[in-house]
Amino acid sequence: MLRLALASALSLIAVCVAVNQDFISSAEIDIADCPITFYGLKYDKVYVGFDSNTSAVCFNGQFGSGPNSDCILMSRGSADRGSLTTHDTHIPTGSGLHKLLANLKHEGECVNIIPLRDGQDSDVKQIELANFGAQAVVGIKTHSRFSDISFEAQTVVNGQSYVKELFQTNQTDRGVVTDVSGCRLFGAVYKTNTSVWNGHICSTVSCDQSGVASLVSSCKPMERCQGNNTCSLDATCTVTGSTIIDVIGRVHAVADRCGYKLMETQSVPDLQVLGVFSERRRKDVSFIQRVILRLKSSNVHVSLEQGGRVTLDDRMVQFNTSEQIVAGVKITKDSSGITAEVTATSGYAASVHFNGNTAHVRVTGPKPASVSGFCGNGSTTAAAEREAALSDSG
Ligand SMILES: *[C@@H]1O[C@H](CO)[C@@H](O)[C@H](O)[C@H]1NC(C)=O
Ligand SMILES: *[C@@H]1O[C@H](CO)[C@@H](O)[C@H](O)[C@H]1NC(C)=O
Ligand SMILES: *[C@@H]1O[C@H](CO)[C@@H](O)[C@H](O)[C@H]1NC(C)=O
Ligand SMILES: *[C@@H]1O[C@H](CO)[C@@H](O)[C@H](O)[C@H]1NC(C)=O
Ligand SMILES: *[C@@H]1O[C@H](CO)[C@@H](O)[C@H](O)[C@H]1NC(C)=O
Ligand SMILES: *[C@@H]1O[C@H](CO)[C@@H](O)[C@H](O)[C@H]1NC(C)=O
């Protein structure tokens, strides 16, 4: 836990603490005048609650009221087994509204003070929630009525214990300050000024001084993070009109009415995906007219055509059900188009989705792999991928 030299500045705030005879054992306090950015999430309310051992200061509802609590919990240290009379049990009404704006140098700096009292209505502790620009801190100060020799403070972020520390009262009577600035990304929390590897997203996440997170993934464009520190193959190519966007995002244009090899991979060795381009109305614009799955070992052609039709070696396939296996190719038809899928052993699979205008060719599998053809990640040319048998002569 980061302790800052702010402790003495914050302990000045003590003079502001209100004395009020009315008290409450739990409260929702509006801090909209001095909102706190707790590990990257800005809050304008504080919920204070107590049970016999713990006082909780939360930002998104009373502690335990939901699964994603953002809280600061204070419990008696395990060495303390004394009576509960000096333990904080309530706060005076009207708390949290003491903003020490005047003593702070800059715009955007403010402090909320929440006094906590014991059963005899004496102040035992105070919690100070402060913002210094992008930095947010929590200060804890105990008063002389606080007789336990230690207590444990714990920050809970997204319902998970994040930082836990045991404080000696001989430290906290002078005030201790903890940094609670940070960033959040995909449900995880990162401290300000850090760079951390997160295997769940296969990325290094950096949280800068302003609380802005950025990430650098170790998975390449053809890959997807498995959530366990491994990148698997997940490559997609899109063919729309006469444009091909290959598996690493490069754009190619098809200028003629020819057949091309779109995709081939060692991972699904029996399959070639071919695209046949044609002309529609305007003579100079070609478009993807059909997509053929060619099974190399048997030289069978399963063709996905306009209007949701499917042919097997030029014979129309009748669809009795929405899913059918045609020559080992699983074909599914629905309102979004036709999907054809070929599964290889060893967990690799290739699929083609075609709706008459756009084709998506996707290859998935456990490990990164090379993809060739017009859709592939190597360097190629239109001439190299042209399929003479599927092309108009001339
Ligand atoms: C409070 O602490 C005591 C002693 O550690 C324990 O026995 C008791 O169950 C705790 N009470 C609550 C409500 O957590
Ligand atoms: C605080 O108290 C602990 C034991 O209770 C002691 O070890 C430590 O030296 C004290 N620290 C200070 C700054 O007095
Ligand atoms: C982050 O690091 C910079 C440069 O080292 C430093 O000036 C700044 O105070 C740090 N911010 C926080 C919140 O620790
Ligand atoms: C990662 O997770 C995937 C999918 O859950 C699993 O197939 C794979 O074996 C795991 N890899 C490692 C290295 O744990
Ligand atoms: C579809 O129905 C026709 C006629 O009932 C039948 O001959 C054919 O075998 C069926 N095809 C499939 C793939 O079930
Ligand atoms: C294509 O991608 C595979 C898997 O990432 C890689 O091993 C191969 O070197 C790449 N090929 C080219 C030409 O970049």
Q: What is the pLDDT of residues 234-249, one digit of tens each?
A: 999 999 999 999 999 9
Token pair recorded at residue 316: 């129309």
User: Rounded to an integer, what distance in angstroms lies between the CA atom of residue 297 and that of residue 328?
Assistant: 12
Cα dihedral 287, 289, 295, 301 sign: negative
Task: Give the pLDDT confidence score for residue 249 in this predicted structure.
Answer: 94
Rounded distance, CA 92 to CA 88, Å? 11
- How many whole angstroms separate alpha carbon 252 and alpha carbon 248? 12
Contact 329, 338 (CB under 8 A): no
Amino acid at residue number 308: G
pLDDT band at 105 (very low <50, low <70, confident <90, very high): low
Per-residue pLDDT at 12 exceeds 60? no
How far does residue 369's CA lie from ligand 6's centre (Å)?
7
The answer, as to whether pTM is greater than 0.75, is: no
Counting ligand 4 atoms within 8 A of each CB, the residue from 219, 225, 226, 229 with the most, and so the one to mutate, is: 226
Which residue, judged by its Cα, is nearest atom 4 of ligand 2?
Answer: 168
Q: Is the CB of 381 under 6 A from ligand 4?
A: no
CB 231 within 8 A of CB 223: yes
Q: Report whether residue 226 contacts ligand 4, using a CB cutoff of 6 Å.
A: yes
Q: Region 185-190: what's the mean pLDDT?
A: 89
pLDDT reading at 1 higher than 60: no
Residues 6+ apart with CB under 8 A from 370: 265, 266, 376, 377, 378
Q: Is the Cβ–Cβ distance between 177 and 162 less than 8 Å?
A: no
The answer to which of 101-105, 129-133, 213-217, 278-282 has the lowest mean pLDDT is 101-105
Is residue 70 predicted with pLDDT exceeding 60? yes
Q: Which of 198, 165, 195, 200 is nearest to 179 (CA)?
A: 165
To 5 degrees, how large is the angle CA 120–CA 121–CA 127?
125
Cβ atoms of 138 and 178 closer than 8 Å: yes
Identify whether the C-beta of residue 80 lies closer than 8 Å to the C-beta of residue 91: no
* Separation between Cα atoms, residue 25 and residue 29, nearest integer Å: 12
Check pLDDT > 80 for residue 6. Answer: no
Among all ligands shown, which has an atom nearest to the Cα of 331? 5
What separation in Å is there between the alpha carbon of 363 and the centre of ligand 6? 14
Counting residues of the chain whose pLDDT is more than 90, the rounded percentage is 55
What distance in Å separates the CA atoms of residue 254 and residue 394, rounded to the nearest whole number? 15
pLDDT at 120: 78
CB 317 within 8 A of CB 324: yes
The yes-or-no verdict on residue 2 having pLDDT over 60 is: no
Q: Is the pLDDT of residue 17 over 50?
A: no
Question: What integer pLDDT is reported at residue 8 of this predicted model?
Answer: 34
Question: At 80, is the pLDDT very low, low, confident or very high (cuts 50, 70, 90)?
Answer: low
- The answer to which of 218-227, 277-286, 327-336, 379-388 has the lowest mean pLDDT is 277-286
Question: Over the chain, what is the mean pLDDT?
Answer: 84
Tens-place pLDDT, residues 345-365: 889 999 999 999 999 999 999
Q: From CA 308, how far away is CA 317, in angstroms rounded?
A: 11
Q: How confident is the model at residue 11 (pLDDT cuts 50, 70, 90)?
A: very low
297 burial (CB, 10 Å; 0-12 / 13-18 / 19+) is exposed
Domain ranges, ordered by start, for the chain: 3-180, 188-218, 225-390
Q: Quick one: pLDDT at residue 393?
A: 55
Residue nearest to atom 6 of ligand 1 (CA): 53
